[in-house]
């Protein structure tokens, strides 16, 4: 049997957005999105969901040891922070005056840049 390839859903958050964690161990913390993994619906947020990675000695790190780094977090646990109010909001999509589909805040109705 052939495996069906499905198109990933359109995500409402993008790289560079300021988001707040709404569930999990890092609940309440905010940070910018560094990377988005669309096929797994996950995002890497700076300073959030820190894990300890044990590294072997190599050229870049001659001693090795334990390194703290960000792990991916599911996008359902993230909420976009509105830049003007600083509060979390849901994201909708509307056509603007130029006829382009843009993201809008559900709370204020303003366009998200």
33-74: pLDDT as tens digits: 999 999 999 999 999 999 999 999 999 889 999 999 999 999
pLDDT greater than 70 at residue 100:
yes
Q: What are phi and psi of 38, to 5 degrees?
A: -65, -40
- pTM of the full structure: 0.80
> How far is 95 from 106, CA to CA, in rounded Å?
14
> How far is 42 from 77, CA to CA, in rounded Å?
9
- Report, as an integer, the average pLDDT of 14-35: 94
Residue 59: CB atoms within 10 A of its CB come to 5
Cβ proximity of 34 and 13 under 8 Å: no
The correct answer on CATH 2.30.30.30 for the domain covering 17-56+64-88 is yes
């Amino acid at each position: 049997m052939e495996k069906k390839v499905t198109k990933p859903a359109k995500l409402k958050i993008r790289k560079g957005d300021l988001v707040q964690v709404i569930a999990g161990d890092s609940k309440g913390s905010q940070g910018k999105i560094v990377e988005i993994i669309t096929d797994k619906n996950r995002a890497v947020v700076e300073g959030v969901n820190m894990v300890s990675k044990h590294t072997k000695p190599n050229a870049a790190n001659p001693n090795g040891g334990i390194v703290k780094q960000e792990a991916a977090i599911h996008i359902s646990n993230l909420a976009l922070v509105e830049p003007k109010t600083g509060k979390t909001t849901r994201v909708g999509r509307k056509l603007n005056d130029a006829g382009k589909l843009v993201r809008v805040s559900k709370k204020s109705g303003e366009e998200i840049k």
